[in-house]
Structure 1
């Protein structure tokens, strides 16, 4: 192995620190001294690639290919630059050459599996004109790609990229068991892998019988392992919203209790309760409502971990529908309190308050039911 020039080593250190402009300046001076330094061209290519300039990265790779057409690093840079520039359908020859030069490289097999898989799907879509492809068809089209992915896993059992490609193919083909096994393998290698962690947590949170509180806890645990996961933050917000939705049902229960207290809907043949309702009955109804909220909301909220409590308050500030839910619960409770705590002598106004508290809230529960799924 040839010794790297000190300038190349310094440039690599700058690249690792993400100081790409300084690295480019250093590499430019190195090429002015020696235009044939292949390593300098490769490092320049990665500087462009890491700053989202794949076209310039390909230009650097092409210059390096003129000097060393069979160099592993040069071919790998060219392949990466091509796919970043939407060249998945053209990259196979480069990857097959990479495998010829480095037959034991899991990266080359994994990227070739991805390229072959994408090409098979595009070719099928063009031939059939299908806008969507079923999982069974994808499974049938994924034969060669799946074999390449398995070879990548064999060569690199600890390679995250190989596992990611194998998971993508298995998941699209409907092989849920294999996909779950690959997620477990990914998390064994990297416990903070954002996508695998999000998939596993979402599956656990959406399992039958898992309530909003437990789901919020699962997402909070996932965020503790990977705090920068936007997917987990969205799912935690969703679970928190489901918790807030429950407060409306508590308020509606109180409205129903208020209607029963003043006997808004007397049974046919029975004499309606005499109004106004006694102070003792009104106070008893108030105690029951307090118990409903204490056991239905306050007790649950107090048992939530502090992070979820903070997210409840944060979501109310950030989310329009979260504020709507809280406002509707408050409105329904206000109607219930007005019905039960004022000594009405006629049922007309309490009846209006009953329907004012009940109907809009029930209508909105039906309207936003998809948000709880």
Structure 2
């Protein structure tokens, strides 16, 4: 074999074999020169980069940056720069004081107090720190210590100290005094955005949504980049208009400070309620970066897990809260639900009993507690809890069946039969005032001891209405509205007393004012009921459309919409809406299943209609509407004989219902003429 020709490129020529027979590659002179030049350039570039690299900021520069970040509302950036400045100049007391201020704004009271102690230790005058010590004490749950420090604050810091004093008074239950003090401050300094935010927060906590809205709007106007003011505005908008409208305000707060914990928590909760679970989970993770171990973030993650059906994960996440936020209604509701699902009935009952004590008019909580008590063997307790609901004309079938089971367990069979008849009929009377379990005298005594607290005044109004003294109930409700025009609860109570008196035109105006302050499900349902009684279907439709645009996950709203769509001939849309409700709420509402049976019958899906009709009839066999729906479903399925029997029964149950008689007439036979 001939030898290969040598390459024309020197660097590719074969080298002689080294000792041992192996060929050794060696760079040629040109390559060696290139390597040297590249190495020299790398070294020279590194030297140049080091020479051009800016020197680290000084303590003074970091301190100035921290103050600037505070001014533009980026509290986390202010904290980071203040912390770096404190490391660079550990003997600078003023830096420690500003570091404490940033920690206070982040809600870290204990860390702020430690920074203040360091400031004093390096010679900073303690007299200039009392207002900050007051804020740190308040964050640690000691309003009395906060007030003591406020009393020692120097005049130069009077405005800040007064704001802390107002918050401390509110924490002690003296909301009226707190608002008065902030009013005095704002009369002197109307441009104080932080004071407006404090006033709005106190008003919102007291249920004065109208006053809170005015204060929040002023706070945002005076401090447009303050994340606290923007978060408050988001909460007010969520209360007044709904979930979707609130999101931009929380997003604006997070543009000022991407890790502002209160905004992240409110944002995550709002996203979750709006059905955006993935985005909500991302927000909770940011909240845990902002505040490691955040109980609120773990709770929201537990809610997301529970909604996804992962009870084990939900329980684990709820345990991570450490019980610190266990008195929050939402936490009690979830904690009890997880215990109940795990058959820990007594534990669930204990949790829900605390919830009912805190919110006696919470119908959902009463149903849950009654069910837990009944399942744990306390039928008498269950009946006591559910009684205020079943006494109402608009009691739902689930509550009536619970009460019937409890009555039967106690041997009260006649009462149980009456309750079952009511549940089976499906007939619901008009909404009424929530019955009070306490004597009127006791309610009035409590109200006199807590003058100025609208909660007790509402109790008196309920007591008067429960006793049949509607004129006085209306008068007291009107007085409460005059005293607290921005409180939605007062407007609802006034509307309820008017509706109970048959004055629906006036009631709808009161309900409208309540909805303008807090557009929640109670306000929605009252408005729709009043519009229906006044024969104002367009107003009712507009109200429901507005509500669903802001609360797209509302099961109650969707259920009403589906019924209206079916009644209006939009069968395809009705099926889509009602199936969504069934997927979310389950198969225990006879009316929902009956509507689905009718809808599928209208599109000639007889087999499906029969399934839904049979399920509805099993739940409410004495309901004329449900029996009629089952009969219509059987017509669509081709079972005319079965349909005839059911429709005969429906006519007997509701002889004056023209629609039922028309359905019976469709299949003919002797009974059609009854």
Which TM-score tier does this pair reach, normalised by the shorter chain? 0.5 to 0.7
1:165 and 2:320 matched: no
In the alignment, which residue of structure 2 is the partner of 1:327?
411
Contact 1:117/1:145 (<8 A) preserved: yes
1:102 and 2:254 matched: no
Summarize the Cα distance change of 1:202–1:90 in structure 2 as closer, same or farther, 3 Å threshold: closer
SS in 1 for 2:207: coil
In the alignment, which residue of structure 2 is the partner of 1:127?
none
Contact 1:48/1:57 (<8 A) preserved: yes
Deviation of 1:15 (Å): 1.3
Query: What pairs up with 1:81-96 in 2 under 5 angstroms?
Result: 81-96=236-251
Deviations 1:340-364 (A, max 9, x none): xxxxxxxxxxxxxxxxxxxx9xx99
SS in 2 for 1:48: helix
1:241 and 2:374 matched: yes
Work out which of the two has the higher radius of gyration on C-alpha atoms and give 1 or 2.
2
Compute the RMSD of aligned alpha carbons.
Answer: 4.3
Higher relative contact order (CA 8 A, sep 6+): 1
Contact 2:369/2:385 (<8 A) preserved: no
User: Take 2:336 and 2:387, find their aligned partners in 1: how far apart are those partners?
Assistant: 26
Q: How many pairs are equivalent?
A: 251
1:66 and 2:150 matched: no
Contact 1:187/1:196 (<8 A) preserved: no
In the alignment, which residue of structure 2 is the partner of 1:15?
170
In the alignment, which residue of structure 2 is the partner of 1:48?
203
Summarize the Cα distance change of 1:316–1:226 in structure 2 as closer, same or farther, 3 Å threshold: closer
User: Take 2:376 and 2:271, find their aligned partners in 1: how far apart are those partners?
Assistant: 45
SS in 1 for 2:266: helix
Could you list the runs of 5+ residues in structure 1 that have no partner in the other structure?
A: 122-140, 245-307, 331-359
User: Take 2:327 and 2:179, find their aligned partners in 1: how far apart are those partners?
Assistant: 32
Query: What pairs up with 1:327-346 in 2 under 5 angstroms?
Result: 327=411
In the alignment, which residue of structure 2 is the partner of 1:284?
none
User: Take 1:77 and 1:28, find their aligned partners in 2: how far apart are those partners?
Assistant: 18
In the alignment, which residue of structure 2 is the partner of 1:24?
179
Deviation of 1:222 (Å): 4.3
Q: Provide the TM-score with structure 2 as the length reference.
A: 0.32
User: Take 1:45 and 1:236, find their aligned partners in 2: how far apart are those partners?
Assistant: 35
Contact 1:158/1:189 (<8 A) preserved: no
Deviation of 1:45 (Å): 0.8
Deviation of 1:179 (Å): 2.2
In the alignment, which residue of structure 2 is the partner of 1:185?
320
SS in 2 for 1:91: helix
Could you list the runs of 5+ residues in structure 2 that have no partner in the other structure?
A: 1-100, 102-131, 133-156, 389-402, 425-587, 589-674
Deviation of 1:61 (Å): 1.8
In the alignment, which residue of structure 2 is the partner of 1:75?
230
Deviation of 1:117 (Å): 4.2
Summarize the Cα distance change of 1:58–1:196 in structure 2 as closer, same or farther, 3 Å threshold: closer
Q: Provide the TM-score with structure 1 as the length reference.
A: 0.53
1:150 and 2:285 matched: yes
